Structure 1
Amino acid sequence: MEEWVNNWLAKQRELGEKGLEIKKFSNGHYVYRSTTYWDKELKKRRKKSVYIGKLDINKGLIESQKTVISSKRVRSIWEYGNAALLNYAIQDLKPLLQTAFGEIWEEVYALALIRIAGYVPLKRANLAWEKLYPIEEITPSMNPKNLSKVLKEVGINRKGQNHVFSGLNSEDKQLVYDLSAIFTRSEAINFAEKGYNKEHFHIPQVNFALFCTANDNLPTMVRILPGSVRDVKSLALSVQEIGVENKTLILDRGFYSQGSIKTLNEHKLSFVIPTKRNSTLYNEQINLSEHFFYHERLIKCGKKEYGGNILYLFEDSEMKKEEEYTLYKQHDENKITSKTFNKGLEKAGKILLVSNVDLAPENVFLMYKKRDTVEKHYDTYKSILEADKLYLQDNESLFGHIFISFLSLYGYVKIQNCIRKANLTSKYSPRDLIEQFRKVYMMDLDGKMIFTEVPKKIGEMEKKLNLKLFPK
């Protein structure tokens, strides 16, 4: 123990305090009052400790405001491996959350952390948090009623949310942008309106716009929109809100229209957007005079100026074979007309992109393909959002929930990036890692903190991932 801790304890004993015991967890010192009692079943004396409070070098004893817990409920073993992994995933958000949300930042941090592995309802949040070793030495109030209030406070604090978004605005020059929706029948959420969705459900919905960096796939912003709003104007407002400049936005085919392209140019936003397969722009003559290889596939390419923008045409040799095979089979089975067959052959294997940036075709193609990985994260995000929708009774709670889920997604992707860099994506998902690392515990043996053995497989995984989570 440090000298100041021993001096404090000695002084308390001089004052007549008996049975005081100090336990060190990570870098924190916690005070307990220990006594013994006779255990009738075991027929021997046993130790009982009651938590009093935390010891501070300047303030002295900071007494606990919480209900005293009997020794039978004092936890002496914690999940360390997954706690360390989850903390690694969102630890760089900590300073942003401290500034943005002040007194409630610990609750925001804790709730986002425990939901990285999947949805945890508010009524089980405290149980999930107590199992984890307190690496960050924070003491959030995880009571369900308190967390409900936190969600509302976060939801109405758009300034705080924007502080986080601005802090995540990386040097990556490319952002992937997309819109999706969650459905709700809550009449108190007036953002919920009937609108377009891929499932063609005629149920009130809330749209959310998500920005992700193209290179590391990390989410940088989420914005909530009324269910009926689904045009590119919302994109321009979102960009203005966080001040994104000098970025190229990679959009989904669903955003393509002449009106959208006009709006993007008017707001001086750089973009790359694929045209729809029935677009008349495919009739433009573009010479496929260049080529490159993408994942061992031959890609022929060319570009052409058109109406102040640039058309980029690509022909994927493997995709062309697959689409031609399908077209011939459908034609032979009389499933498509000759007209559809001929038009399909003209576009087989072709991808047409529109952009207002002049780059080498290969660079534009690589930007477009970065959407593939990011789109998988949208599915993860929606699964978290959908899980809680029945318990959201007003706009403020909805906004707070969407922001907390955004933070959890950030942590999930952070772990996913570690797996990807280690070339282990075919073997593990972030949830797989969290479950594996859960096997490493920290135990309190009479005030001495001891690690359980790190299984060989987990040790090898930690080394490959270059995480350095376990003390040597």
Structure 2
Amino acid sequence: MEEWVKEILKKEREIRKLPLEVKELNKNYYLYRSTTHWDKKERKVKKDSEYIGRITPKGVIEKKKSNDIRSIFEYGNSELLHLLAQDIIEPLKKSYYDRWKEIIACSIVKTIQPLPLRLIKSRWEKLAISQKIDASLSPNTLSEVLREIGKDYAAQKEFFDELMVDSKTLIFDLNSISSYSENLQYAEKGHNADHIYLKQINFMLFFSMDTQLPVLLKPLPGSVRDIKALKTVIDEVNVKDSTVVIDRGFASQVIPDMLTDFDLNFILPLRRNFTDIDYGWNLDYTFSYRKRGIKWGKKRIGTNFLYLFEDVKLKAEEETTFIHLMNEKKKNIEEYKEEAKKFGKIAILSNRDVDGETIYLMWKDRENIEVAFDALKNELENDKTYLHDDDAVRGYLFISFLSLYLYYKILNLLRKAQIVDKVSVNEVLLELSKVYEIHLGEKRKLSEIPNRVLKLAESLDLDIFPKKLRS
């Protein structure tokens, strides 16, 4: 502590006749009243701190008077997210004890509204949960937080390992975002999905079909090929005896052997031109998927099984499209004869010997990860200016992952209530934001709760509006 700060502290103690202390944050000094009390429940002494103001060479600039202090806060949205975050708060405390408050605050704000980092603080201060979690969220502080998170990958891995404990069926995919920063080693030249050769950051996501939640996110250099990325991460994480569902873009002769070597089950959709596929065999079994008729069959290929599915409706649609192309002279009858046997069909290779419907449903669940990637890419676009180095990228992706995790927690509530086709996650957060917490001196109470919000909370089986706080 600098000498001039010590002098001011000494003078303030004489003037105020109070036990005072100084706290330093980002090279700024702040004055606090410091006392202790005996916690009967935990049977130990606990420290209490009350913020007084910021210390400058000219003296203490006291905090704003009561008429300038916010006394009404959005309650419903932040209370729900805080409730849903309970299963990740303890692991966060273990992995990032000094920064868990900033991490969870950013995650909650970004779930409510995907704002750039510079606006996180002002949005957080409007939420009731900000009165319970004292997070430092200035842009400069958040930049430091990102780097602190990003440089400690061991802590991230410890956190992800806890999320993956109950996951036996995992969906894997890799995607990318373009970057023009010269300081990012991750942003290397690579081909993206549009076959454009430019600087990009690859990030890889594992999604658990058991919990219907994302469980791992890892950034990779842009030049790392998909198969190499998969091998690298599987080597790091404990996924032995799990089932991995992979995108058809990964289809390769080496994938099945590699996954088997890792003691993994796999579900690998194949491109239609894959050499092992015989489209001519009879499909003797059927099931329905979202009111669509599906035919299927299964054949053993070495130690694996080839599942062939035919979506009856898709077959008709593809055949109709091809006939239109023939009428426009863009296709001919010989091409039709060759392609007709493939219409509406998808082939999936797996080392699991189960019924076709099980394999098909696991494959269709990949839609979850595609939606998740879209959300992550939009987040990254908002904050490119903050991602000046690799540590910042890793930290930023970790926080984005947590907001994605909370998003899916709400989505799962909607699915459980069977109203996912009627109400979106954003609608849930918007409706709940209409319930405020009002501070009247030492008292707190909730604003009137609209009937629509009460019905929504009841549908989702939420108990977030205590009677003692209701108007």
Q: For this structure pair, what is the TM-score category when the shorter chain's length is used for normalisation?
A: 0.7 to 0.9
Matches within 5 A, 1:27-426: 56-57=37-38, 58-59=45-46, 61-64=48-51, 67=54, 68-71=62-65, 72-134=67-129, 137-283=132-278, 286-426=281-421
Deviation of residue 364 (structure 1)? 0.8
CA distance in 1, matches of 2:306, 2:69: 66
With structure 2 as the length reference, what TM-score do the two structures score?
A: 0.86
Answer whether contact 2:146 2:391 (CA < 8 A) is retained.
yes
Answer whether contact 2:84 2:406 (CA < 8 A) is retained.
yes
Residue 268 of structure 1 aligns with an amino acid whose one-letter code is: D
Deviation of residue 258 (structure 1)? 1.0
Q: 1:445 aligns to what?
A: 440
Deviation of residue 240 (structure 1)? 2.5
Answer whether contact 2:52 2:63 (CA < 8 A) is retained.
no
CA distance in 2, matches of 1:216, 1:403: 19
Moved more, 57-66 or 419-428: 57-66
Cα distance, 1:242–1:66 mapped onto 2, change above 3 Å: farther
Deviation of residue 193 (structure 1)? 1.1
CA distance in 1, matches of 2:272, 2:131: 51
Residue 152 of structure 1 aligns with an amino acid whose one-letter code is: R
Deviation of residue 136 (structure 1)? 7.7
CA distance in 2, matches of 1:54, 1:275: 66
Moved beyond 3 Å, runs of 4+: 50-57, 65-68, 284-287
Matches within 5 A, 1:423-434: 423-434=418-429
CA distance in 2, matches of 1:201, 1:428: 37
Q: 1:22 aligns to what?
A: none
CA distance in 2, matches of 1:53, 1:375: 51
Answer whether contact 1:51 1:69 (CA < 8 A) is retained.
no
Listed one character per residue, the Cα deviations across residues 272-317 of structure 1 (whole Å, up to 9, x for unaligned) are: 0111022222336543122222223221111111132110011111
Cα distance, 1:104–1:330 mapped onto 2, change above 3 Å: same
CA distance in 2, matches of 1:56, 1:354: 64
CA distance in 1, matches of 2:37, 2:145: 27
Cα distance, 1:139–1:253 mapped onto 2, change above 3 Å: same
CA distance in 1, matches of 2:436, 2:325: 58
Q: What secondary structure, in the 3-state scheme, does the structure 2 residue paired with 1:199 have?
A: coil
Answer whether contact 1:117 1:434 (CA < 8 A) is retained.
yes
CA distance in 2, matches of 1:266, 1:439: 53
Q: What secondary structure, in the 3-state scheme, does the structure 2 residue paired with 1:449 have?
A: strand
Aligned residue pairs: how many?
427
Listed one character per residue, the Cα deviations across residues 101-158 of structure 1 (whole Å, up to 9, x for unaligned) are: 1111111111111111232222222111111113782211112211111100000111
Residue 462 of structure 1 aligns with an amino acid whose one-letter code is: A
Deviation of residue 345 (structure 1)? 0.9
Q: What secondary structure, in the 3-state scheme, does the structure 1 residue paired with 2:466 have?
A: coil
Cα distance, 1:434–1:302 mapped onto 2, change above 3 Å: same
Answer whether contact 1:54 1:64 (CA < 8 A) is retained.
no
Please list every run of 5 or more consecutive structure 2 residues that lacks an aligned counterpart in the other structure.
1-15, 18-30, 39-44, 55-61
Q: What secondary structure, in the 3-state scheme, does the structure 2 residue paired with 1:119 have?
A: coil
Q: What secondary structure, in the 3-state scheme, does the structure 2 residue paired with 1:280 have?
A: coil
Please list every run of 5 or more consecutive structure 1 residues that lacks an aligned counterpart in the other structure.
1-16, 19-49
Cα distance, 1:77–1:413 mapped onto 2, change above 3 Å: same
Answer whether contact 1:217 1:374 (CA < 8 A) is retained.
no
Q: 1:45 aligns to what?
A: none
Cα distance, 1:108–1:424 mapped onto 2, change above 3 Å: same
Answer whether contact 1:214 1:374 (CA < 8 A) is retained.
no
Answer whether contact 2:279 2:341 (CA < 8 A) is retained.
no
Answer whether contact 1:272 1:364 (CA < 8 A) is retained.
yes
Deviation of residue 65 (structure 1)? 6.9
Deviation of residue 52 (structure 1)? 5.7
CA distance in 2, matches of 1:170, 1:399: 22
Residue 277 of structure 1 aligns with an amino acid whose one-letter code is: R
Q: 2:454 aligns to what?
A: 459
CA distance in 2, matches of 1:453, 1:53: 37
With structure 1 as the length reference, what TM-score do the two structures score?
A: 0.85
CA distance in 2, matches of 1:117, 1:295: 31
Q: 1:40 aligns to what?
A: none
Q: What secondary structure, in the 3-state scheme, does the structure 2 residue paired with 1:375 have?
A: helix
CA distance in 1, matches of 2:429, 2:191: 36
CA distance in 1, matches of 2:36, 2:328: 80
Listed one character per residue, the Cα deviations across residues 180-212 of structure 1 (whole Å, up to 9, x for unaligned) are: 001111111011111121133332001011000
